[in-house]
Chains A and B, each alone.
Chain A
Amino acid sequence: MAIDTRPIRSSASDGPARRPAPQRDPDDDRGRPSRSLVVALLLACATLMVVDKAGGDGSPVETVRQGVGEVVGPIQAGVATVVRPVSDLPDTFRTNDALRQQVRELEADNAAQAQQLAKSGYDDARLRQLDGLRQLAGDVGYALVPARVIAIGAAQNFSSTVTIDAGSDSGLHPDMTVVAAAGLVGRITSVTSHTATVLLIIDDTSNVGGRIGTNLELGFVRGTGALGTDDRLEMELVDRNVVPKVGQEIVTWGSRNGAPYVAGVPIGKVVKVYESLRETSYRAVITPGVDFTALDLVGVVVPSGTSGHVIEADGSMR
C-alpha cells in the first residue's frame, strides 16, 4: 500500500497562491490537501464502488479482497485463538459447579442405559441394523467441515457477515451451506485458502427457500437486517391460502445440487402470523433456532467423501 509520504511542502507550495485567503499566513496551509488530491481520492472511491457494484460476483475487487483475506485471515485466526480463552473465562467460573453436577447426572444416566442395552440381545441386533441404515444414509448424504467463527462484522456495517477459520484448503467454495447445531446459519459468499466469509440468514439481502415442516408448504424466508431483537426472519408462503400456525417448524427447501442451501436444515419456529391485506397473503415471523450473537462452532456442508477434517453423516470423524 503506497501512502504518499513526501514532505508536505511539495504539494502545498503552490496552493496558497491560488486560494482566495490572503489574510491567512501561508505557513498555515502547509497541512492542507490540495484540491486535486481531494478530487482524486473522491473519484477513486466512486470508481471503486461503481466497479464493485457493476461487477457483481466477478468484479476485479473480489480478487483484491481475496488477496487481502489471505494475509489478514491467518492473523485473525491467531488473535481469535488468543482471545477465546479470555472471553470464555467468566463463563467457566460461573458454570463449573453446574457442569460437575451435569457430569454426575450423565454418568448415572449412561450407566443405566448401558445396563438396559446389555439386557437384551434383541435390542443389540436392532441397534446393528439401525447403524447399517445410518451408514447408508451417510453415503448418500452430506458431510460437515467443522469451523469456528474468528471475526464478526460490526453492526455499523449494516450487513451480517462472519469469518470462519476454514477455507478452500478444506474444500470450501462460495455458495455452500453453513449450519450450527441448532440450525441454519447462512451461506458462504467468498473464500480464501484458510478463511471463508459467511452471509448470515438474518442479513436483509438473504433469501432462503423454506418449507413448513408439518405440511410441506413452500415459502421464502427473508432476513430483516439484524436489527430488532426478536423479529429477525420473515416467511411468505407461495400458496396464499395456507395459514402458517404459531409453533410450526420451518426447514430449508433446498436448491439444485445443494447450492447455496441443502434441503431439510431447520431454520426456526413460527412465533407470529400477520395477514398482509395489500398482498392478500400471510406473513410469518420466525425466530431462528441459532443464536446469532453467540455463534462459535459451525459446520459447512460439503459432499460426502471430501478429504480433510470432516464429520461424516453417520457421526464418524475423519
Chain B
Amino acid sequence: MLDTTAEKKQPISTTSEWTFELIQEYDREIALLAKDFGLDTYPNQIEVISSEQMMDAYSSVGMPVGYNHWSFGKQFISVENNYQRGRMGLAYEIVINSNPCIAYLMEENTMAMQALVIAHACYGHNSFFKGNYLFRSWTDASSIIDYLLFAKNYIARCEERHGVDEVEALLDSCHALMNYGVDRYKRPYPISAHEEERRQKEREEYRQRQLNDLWRTIPKLNGGKEDIPVHRFPDEPQENILYFIEKNAPLLENWQRELVRIVRKMAQYFYPQRQTQVMNEGWATFWHYTLMNGLYERGKVTDGFMLEFLQSHTSVIYQPPYDSPYYNGINPYTLGFSIFSDLRRICENPTEEDRVWFPDIAGSNWKETLQFAMRDFKDESFILQFLSPKVMRDMKLFCISDDDREKEIVVNAIHNEDGYRELRAKLAGQYNLGNREPNIQVFSVDTRGDRSLTLHHTQHQRRPLGRDTVEVMRHLHRLWGFDVHLHSLNGDEITASYHCPELGRDRSEEEESMLVPKPI
C-alpha cells in the first residue's frame, strides 16, 4: 500500500463531486486500461440524466423511445412509489445494446459511482454486447433505435385510426404471448426504420393479394371423396406462436398483424438478454472490479474512492443464504462474478484440483480464456463449462429435489466430491429457458372444420401449467378469432386441457364470439 513514487501518481480527483471534465478524464483512463486488457467495445455515448429521467427509463425497459401502453405506466408508478418511499435506490446503470452503446449516469451519484458505472456499463456490458455470439447473431445494435422509433410512430398512427382501446387490447394479448414470439433458430436481418416502413407497406399489399388457406371453400375435384390423407396444418409444430398468428390468424386486419410483429420483434431483441443474465452481469462486474483496481494500482484514485467503490461492489455481489428473509433466488451478479474471477485464478494460479477439472484452461492466458468464455456461451452452457468446484464450495451450493409423489424433500447433492458434477448440471439446467418456461407449441389447425387452433404443452418433469393459463387462452382466442384448445401432455397422455371459449357453453354465444373477439 505504501506509495513510494507519490510524486508521479497523481489521483484524478480527490472529492466526491463530479464534473463533465472529470467524467471525461476517468473515461479516458478506464478506456486505456480496458484496451490493455483487450476489451473490444462499441463507441460509448454517456448520458447524464436526473433521477426522474432514470425512472422514465426504468419503466420503458431502459429504451429511449417506446410505444405507449398502460403496463409501462404501471411500471412507472410502482418505481416512483418505491423510490419516493426510499425502498429502493435506483440502479445506477442502465445500458442499451445499441451502436453507439448508450449508458445513463445519474446526476445524484458521486464521482466514484460515476466511474464505477462507466467501467461496468461502458466497458463491461458494452464489450459483452459486442462479443457474445447471441447478441451478435440475434440483435442488431445499429438498427434497434430506428426500429423502436418506427414502432412507436406506427402504433401511434394505429391509435389515431382505430382507437386507443382497440390497440391497447391487442397489445395486451400480444404481451401475454410475448415469450412465445421468439425465433430460436432464424436470424433477423438488420434494417433501418425507413426500410422497415417500406416493407411494412409491401407486406400489407402482399397480404391483401394473398389467399389464406384457412378460407379455402372451393370444392375439390375428386368427386367428393374425402379419403385424401389428412394433411395437418402446420406440417410441424411451431414454437413461435406469435409468428404463427401473424402469418395465419384468419381474422386479423393488416395493422393488427403489424402490431403482432412489433411485439414479436421486441421479444426477439430481449431474448439474448434473458439467456445471458448471469454471464452479462458477471462479466460487467468482473470488469468494473478489475478496472477499478487497475486505476488504484496506477495511483489514479484515492483510498477513499476505493472504499466507496468496494462498499458498493460488495453489496452488489452479496448473496443471501437460502434461509435468509432477503433470499430471492441466486444473485446473477454473485454467480457470474465468482465464475469469472475464479477462471482468472485458475489461469494464473492453478491448483491440483483445477488441473484435473480444467486441464485445457489451467495455466493458460487468462485474458484469452475469459474472452473465449464470454464470446461463445450462454448461461446454461457457461455454467456447465466453467462452474468450478471452488465456486460451488465458496457459495455452499446444494441441490434439493422436490417431488410431489414423495413426502419429503430430498437433498440430492451438496458441494463435495460426489456432488460437484450433479450440482453443476442441475444449476445449468436451471438457466435453460426451456425449463423455466413451459414448452408450448402450435400443434394443428382444424382447416376443414371450425378453424380451431390446437396447442400442445409438453410437460417438463410433470410440471403443470400455472394459474394464468385460462387468462392467456382468452388472449390467444382474441388473436386467433376462432376456438383455441390447449392440451397439456405428460408423455403421450393428456393430463389437462384448456379451451377458450370454454366447452359446453351455449353454442349461439360461441358463434357470436367467433365473429367478434370479446374484450377481456
Q: Do A and B come from one complex?
A: no
Q: A residues touching B (Cβ–Cβ < 8 Å)?
A: none
